Each structure stands twice: as C-alpha cells, then as structure tokens.
C-alpha cells in the first residue's frame, strides 16, 4: 500500500503542459511564458486562447476569438428572473455556482460526452469554453445590479472583456486605466497549475459531466478562505488592524494564538508569489492615478508584509496572490464579497484548459483510502442498543 499524504502534498495527480510553478525560485509560467511578461504584454482574451490552445494566437485568430466571446456575452432573460428570486444578501460565489450550473439547462451541449473515454472534437470543446468564459463576467455583473434592485446592464459588443465587465458591473463608461488594471488582474488569476479548484474541475470532468458542472464544482471549491476566498479576508484583516502603527502588536498576538495571516503562505511557493509584486505595482500605479496618496489599507498591507516576513520567512510563508488583489479591487470600488467571483471569472480560462486536457486523455479519478474504521461487525437491532 502506498503512503497516505494529507492534502495529497507532493502527490502528482495529473500530467499537464498548461502551466508550471517553480516554488523555490518564485516562477510561474503559462505554456512556457513567464507571468511577468504576460501581465506586461498580453490581455485576458489572448492569454485565455494561449491557455486553451497552447500557442499565442496571431492577430486574426485573436480577433475571431474576441468576436466569439462578444457574441456570447448575453444571457437569456430567464437567468435574470432566476437571480431576482435569490436573496440579495446571498454570497456572490453561491449565486455564481448556481447560475453557472443553470447555464447547462439554457445552453446545453453534451454531444461529445457520450460515455466513450475520449473527446477529440476540439470544436465542441472550444465552443463550450467560449459559451462559459463569455458569460462568467455577465453573471457576476448582473448579480451586482440585481441585488442592488436594478435591472442588469446589457453587455456591449464594442468593448473588450475587461472593459465590458467593468461597464456591466458599474453601469458607467469604463475608465481605460481601471479597465487595463482589471485586464491585468484577469491575466494574473487565469491559471495556476493543479490547485484545489482545478483538481475539483479535473475530477468532475473525468466523469464526463457537462462543462457547466465542471465549472460549478470548481467555483464551489474556489470559494473557501484557504483558496480564493482569502482575498476577502485580507481586506477584513487590514481593516481590523486599522493603521501601520498597529501592525506589530496585532501580528504578534495573532501568531501567539496560532491564527492565520490571510493572503500569506502557499503550498507551492516557498518564496514570494510572483503575482504579488505585480499586483503591488498595480496598486502603486492606481494610487498615483488617484492623486498620489496611498490608501491607509495599502500602507497597512505593506507594513504587515514586512513584519510578517521577519517572523514567517523561516517557514517559507510569504505574501501570495490574494494579499494585494483584494486591496486593489477595494480601491477600484468593487464590493468586498465580489473579489472571489472576479477571481472565478478569470480562472474559468484555466479550468477549461484543464478540462480540455483531461478529456483528451481521460480516465475517471478514483483514488483509494486508508480505512481506519470498525472491522466487520454484526448488526445490532434497535431494541438492543
């Protein structure tokens, strides 16, 4: 019997050529391209196509893909009606998980998932990926309007993905500077090897469930505070600290009580997550754009990171992607409970790239367990218990 490793730490669960992490050197690459280069030079649509197809598209391929997404931004009115009956104080990730699952009824497509082991129809896989990625932002933005008591803002076909997302979220013409920041955030969050939510997507995909079921499973998994939900907690934590002067005492008390510092630590990285400095740089640019003064939240975050590094670097615990993303979204005026949904909008690209890879060489996931329960015993009737 093989050794049981809690959390499957270090256990390879798949073979993949989509992305790679060097956790000692702090390197993340999608299809061989460093995340720093993609953040600087690429956009969400191009990065998504890179993840799905394995190659950077030429300009014609990219234009076709952008058009395909735009043609699928809209959703049927019944989905709006369904959302109207959801409680306005419900969490957006629960809305998103339910709504994505419901897309399967409105835009079905299981023709490739017939029970044979392989799905080699790349058109089918591509079209389903487009249908889902295009609508993720629409669902998140619709909910923002509906829970506030408004009708959803119709998507606009003249805007790129990030611009249209901000436009639908706020109902206002998107500021090009903020749209560029959003675009870069979408690139940074699009993929991250076989993390918990991607693993959930693979397991679900391996049963030949519909891609909507695959993405709904991944969304549920992403929602937890140990995964995508951490960015919300980071902002709550920084608000609780209040100012840079309070950082040291607050941190010492938390660590003495063995509490988690949100947005810190990673199973794979033993150095700073390479996405953290990019997000920190965006935060600095945003502060300049807003008139040059850092927000108290950002100053507190910088002070906390320095203090945490002094105490936690010996354990290989450094800032991760969630540390600065929440602050950035907060400074962009995005409500706290939508941060993880934005993460999901972007990560759908990676999840679907892994779904495609899984279908091309599928075998249902069925691990084993170490049974530690009772040995076989006789049933005791209820009057004798």
Q: Whose Cβ is closer to ligand COA: residue 12's or residue 291's?
A: 12
Q: Write down the least CB distance from residue 35 to ligand COA, Å.
A: 14
- Smaller CB distance to ligand COA: residue 225 or 244? 225
Shortest CB 32 distance to ligand COA, Å: 22
Would you give the distance in Å from CA 345 to the centre of its chain?
7
- Contact pattern from residue 318 through residue 347 relative to ligand COA, giving x for each residue in contact according to CB under 6 A and a dash for the rest: --xxx-------------------------
Residue from 41, 84, 290, 315 binding ligand COA (CB under 6 A): 315
Strands 33-34 and 19-22 come out as unpaired
- Counted residue by residue, the chain has a size of 385
Nearer to ligand COA by Cβ, of 102 and 340: the residue is: 340
Which parts of 245-284 interact with ligand COA (CB under 6 A)? 260-267
Catalytic hit among 189, 192, 273, 322: 322
Question: Nearest approach, Cβ of 58 to ligand COA (angstroms)?
Answer: 34
CB of 134 to ligand COA, least distance (A): 26
DSSP characters over 264-300 = B--SS-SS--THHHHHHHHHHHHHHHTTS---HHHHH
Site for ligand COA in 293-312 (CB under 6 A): 312
Tell me if 317 contacts ligand COA by CB under 6 A. yes
Element housing 359 (H / E): helix 339-360
For the CB of residue 314, give the shortest distance to ligand COA in the complex, in Å: 9
Cβ closest to ligand COA, residue 49 vs residue 276: 276
| Known catalytic membership, residue 126 | no
Q: Mask of contacts with ligand COA, 144-173, x by CB under 6 A? A: ------------------------------
Stretch that binds ligand COA, among 55-63, 68-76, 165-173, 317-325 (CB under 6 A): 317-325
Residue with smaller CB distance to ligand COA, 206 or 325: 325
Residues 6+ apart with CB under 8 A from 247: 241, 300, 303, 304, 307
Radius of gyration of the chain (CA): 22
Which residues, 6+ apart, have CB-to-CB distance to 230 below 8 Å? 262, 263, 320, 322
Dihedrals φ, ψ of 272, to 5°?
A: -65, 135
Residue nearest to ligand COA (CB): 265
- The span from the CA of 14 to the CA of 8, in Å, is 12
Q: Bridge partners of 21?
A: 28
Could you tell me whether strands 27-30 and 33-34 are parallel, antiparallel, or unpaired per DSSP bridges?
A: antiparallel
CB 226 → ligand COA: shortest distance, Å?
Answer: 4
Sheet of 27-30: strands edge to edge?
19-22, 27-30, 33-34
Q: Which 8-state DSSP code applies to residue 314?
A: G
C-beta of 348: minimal distance to ligand COA in Å?
17
Q: What is the smallest separation between the CB atom of 315 and ligand COA, expressed in angstroms? A: 4
Range 24-83, binding ligand COA (CB under 6 A): none
Give the Cα separation of 319 and 312 in Å (integer). Answer: 10
Half-sphere exposure (Cβ direction) of 362: Cα atoms closer than 13 Å: 25
In whole angstroms, give the CA distance from residue 264 to residue 101: 31
Cα separation, 344 vs 269, whole angstroms? 21
Q: How far apart are CA 355 and CA 211, in angstroms?
A: 8
Beta bridge partner(s), residue 28? 21
Specify whether 266 is catalytic.
yes
Scanning residues 223 to 242, which ones bind ligand COA (CB under 6 A)?
Answer: 226-227, 230
Nearer to ligand COA, 142 or 304 (CB): 304
Distance CA 222, CA 193 (A): 14
Nearer residue to ligand COA within complex by CB, 7 or 373: 7
Q: Which of 183, 266, 273, 354 is catalytic?
A: 266
Residue among 168 and 230 whose Cβ is closer to ligand COA: 230
Report the alpha-carbon distance of residue 85 to residue 89 in Å, rounded.
Answer: 12
Site size toward ligand COA (CB under 6 A) is 18
List residues with catalytic annotation. 266, 322
The site for ligand COA (CB under 6 A) is made up of 7, 226-227, 230, 260-267, 312, 315, 317, 320-322
């Amino acid at each position: 019997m093989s050794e049981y490793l809690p959390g499957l730490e270090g256990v390879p669960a798949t073979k993949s050529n989509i992305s790679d992490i060097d956790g000692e050197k702090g390197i993340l690459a999608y299809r061989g391209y460093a995340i720093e280069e993609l953040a600087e030079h690429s956009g969400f649509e191009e990065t998504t196509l890179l993840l799905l197809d394995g190659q950077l598209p030429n300009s014609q391929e990219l234009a076709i893909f952008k058009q395909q997404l735009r043609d699928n931004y809209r959703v049927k009115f019944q989905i709006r009606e369904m959302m109207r009956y959801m409680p306005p104080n419900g969490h957006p990730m629960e809305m998103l998980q339910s709504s994505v699952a419901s897309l399967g009824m409105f835009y079905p497509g299981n023709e490739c998932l017939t029970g044979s082991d392989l799905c080699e129809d790349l058109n089918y896989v591509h079209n389903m990926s487009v249908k889902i990625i295009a609508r993720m932002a629409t669902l998140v933005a619709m909910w923002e309007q509906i829970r506030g008591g408004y009708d959803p803002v119709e998507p606009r076909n003249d805007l790129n993905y990030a611009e249209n997302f901000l436009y639908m979220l706020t109902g206002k013409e998107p500021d090009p500077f903020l749209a560029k920041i959003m675009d870069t955030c979408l690139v940074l969050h699009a993929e991250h090897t076989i993390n918990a939510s991607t693993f959930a997507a693979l397991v679900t995909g391996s049963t030949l469930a519909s891609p909507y079921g695959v993405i709904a499973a991944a969304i549920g998994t992403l929602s937890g505070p140990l995964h995508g939900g951490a960015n919300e907690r980071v902002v709550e934590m920084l608000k609780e600290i209040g100012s840079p002067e309070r950082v040291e005492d607050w941190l010492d008390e938390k660590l003495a009580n063995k509490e988690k510092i949100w947005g810190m630590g990673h199973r794979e990285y033993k150095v700073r997550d390479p996405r953290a400095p990019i997000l920190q740089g965006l935060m600095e640019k945003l502060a300049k754009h807003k008139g040059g003064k850092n927000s108290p939240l950002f100053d507190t975050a910088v002070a906390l990171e320095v203090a945490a590094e002094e105490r936690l670097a010996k354990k290989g615990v450094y800032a991760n992607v969630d540390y600065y993303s929440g602050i950035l979204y907060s400074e962009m005026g995005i409500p706290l409970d939508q941060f993880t949904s934005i993460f999901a909008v972007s990560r759908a690209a990676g999840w679907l790239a892994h779904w495609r890879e899984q279908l091309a060489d599928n075998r249902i996931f069925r691990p084993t367990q170490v049974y530690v329960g009772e040995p076989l015993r006789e049933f005791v009737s209820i009057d004798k218990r």
